[in-house]
Amino acid sequence: MTIQLNTDKNLTIHQEYEEKIKGAITDGLGRFDDLLTRIEVHLSDENGSKDGLDDKRCLLEAKIVGKEPIAVTNLGNTYDLALSGAISKLKSKLETIAGKLKTH
C-alpha cells in the first residue's frame, strides 16, 4: 500500500511528522493492505492562517483493488485529531466493503 501526502499552502510537513502520519495510517488500516493499492492524504486548514475551531481538515482517499476509490473527510482542532477521525471513518467503510467481498 502506497501512502501519498498532499497539503495546502498553509502547511509544511517535516520528515518526522510525515513518518508519524504514515505510521498512524499503517497501524489503523494495515489489515486492509491486500485490499488497498494507495491511500492519498490531503491535509488543509479551512480558514488559512486565522484561528478557528475544527478548522483542520483531513481527507483520505483509498484506491481499492478492482473497485472505485472511496473518500472520507474529518475536521478537528489539530491535524492529528482530523487524521485520527478520518482513519476511523475509512476503517469503518473498509470493514463494510471487505465484509461484502467475503460474502460474494
Query: How many other C-beta atoms lie within 10 A of the C-beta of residue 36?
Result: 20
| C-alpha span between 58 and 41 (Å, rounded) | 7
Phi-psi region of 81 (alpha: psi -120 to 50; beta: other; left: phi over 0): alpha
Provide the whole-model pTM. 0.90
For residue range 41-61, list pLDDT tens digits in order: 999 988 776 776 778 999 999
The average pLDDT across 24-46 equals 94
For 79, other C-beta atoms within 10 Å of its C-beta total: 19
pLDDT per residue as tens digits for the range 70-96: 999 999 999 999 999 999 999 999 999
For the chain, domain boundaries? 2-103
Homologous superfamily assigned to 2-103: Ribosome hibernation promotion factor-like (3.30.160.100)
Q: Which of 24, 21, 64, 57 has the alpha carbon at shortest distance from 42?
A: 57
Cell numbers for 33, please give them.
Answer: 493492505
